[in-house]
Amino acid sequence: MNTKDYKEVQELEKKEYQAPELAIENLTKALYESNQKLARVMRERDDIFSNISHDLRSPITTIHNSLEYLLEQKDLSKEEISETLNIMYKRTLTLEHMVENIFLLTKLKSSNQLFSFKNVPIGSFLEDLFYQRMVEQKYSERKLMINIPMDFPYSANIDIDYLTRAIDNLLENALKASKKDDIISLEALLLDDFHIKEIVKTQSDGTCISDKDIDVFIHSNPGTAYCYIKIWNTGSIMTQDMISHIFERTYTAQNARTPSSKSGIGLGLTICRSIIEKHEGKIWCTSIPTEEKCIFNILLPVYSM
């Protein structure tokens, strides 16, 4: 390379070099925030593993002890054997349900290909689902109510199976959190941006969503109409701390939704949130202690049919 060529290469390198877009202090701040986020994710992962280990231990211990009992006791009656096997069977179902939820949540977080969306009349979908549940024996001691306008000509782009699972999960939570003769209600109506904000304002004292949260959600879907779905029950009260953490995978607070329930990994509501978000919707929780009422609120984008 001669002197002329060398100088041309130097000039080219100078032109290609550009100063960093971010100042050192901004880069340091960004690195700090990234490290904080990574640390939080690692803590959540550790908490999840700890909670899963704790929750798996109980049914496994019961099954193990039951097997030992059957093997060691040679003169058991048919009734005793049947009772022990029934205990083992119930614990096996608990394990199966827990593993299924863990697997489902992992799939929901990692893939969009699980969903098969269809344009469905949302009012008819909710009515059919609710009336099917009304005839189930487990709801026989509750007062089930539904309030959906007769003329509701709107459709939503939904995965029927997954949205059914989310609504079912919320109804079953309402069942567990309520007592005999308490109310479980499903309501739906059409809302625009303004009325969504008004509802959030009226719930401001006992909710896990802020005006800023709802503004960000609305601005991400400008001009969209929403079906506002409200599933609520009487007979339960949640504190602000419970409401703030109710959808977190690592939340294990005693009495979060069911007064007699034990602490657990609580993936059901986390799964609900994941499903609603995959539908480009929003879900949040509200508690009204003076009325002993707990409300789960859902917004789903809808279109005129």
pLDDT confidence bin for 168, thresholds 50/70/90: very high
Q: Residue 232, SS3?
A: strand
Residue pointed to by tokens 């002329």: 4
Q: Residue 158, SS3?
A: strand
Q: Which of residues 214 and 175 earns the better pLDDT score?
A: 175
How far is it between the farthest Cα atoms of the chain? 102
Q: Which of the listed ranges 2-11, 58-67, 107-116 does the model predict with the highest average pLDDT?
A: 58-67
pLDDT tens profile 275-305: 999 999 999 888 888 888 899 999 999 988 7
Q: Give the model's pLDDT for residue 18.
A: 52
* Residue 267, both tokens: 């993936």
pLDDT over 70 at 207, yes or no? no
Q: Give the model's pLDDT for residue 257.
A: 44
DSSP category for residue 11: H
* CB under 8 A, 24+ apart: contacts of 57-66: 59/91, 59/92, 59/94, 59/95, 59/98, 60/95, 62/87, 62/88, 62/91, 63/88, 63/91, 63/92, 66/91
* Mean pLDDT taken over the chain: 80
Q: Give the model's pLDDT for residue 283.
A: 92
pLDDT over 90 at 117, yes or no? yes
**CA–CA distance, 94 with 111 (Å, rounded to integer):** 26
Q: Give the model's pLDDT for residue 206.
A: 61
Q: Which of residues 78 and 7 earns the better pLDDT score?
A: 78
Phi/psi of residue 91, nearest 5 degrees:
-65, -35
User: CA torsion sign, 290 to 204 to 156 to 267?
Assistant: negative
Domains and CATH numbers, the chain: 24-110 (1.10.287.130), 118-304 (3.30.565.10)
pLDDT tens profile 140-155: 999 999 999 988 899 9
pLDDT over 50 at 260, yes or no? no
Q: Which of the listed ranges 1-5, 32-36, 54-58, 121-125 does the model predict with the highest average pLDDT?
A: 121-125
Task: Look up the pTM and report it.
Answer: 0.70
**CA–CA distance, 189 with 272 (Å, rounded to integer):** 20
Comparing 19-33, 154-168, 215-229, 269-283, the range with the smallest average pLDDT is 19-33
Q: Give the model's pLDDT for residue 265.
A: 43
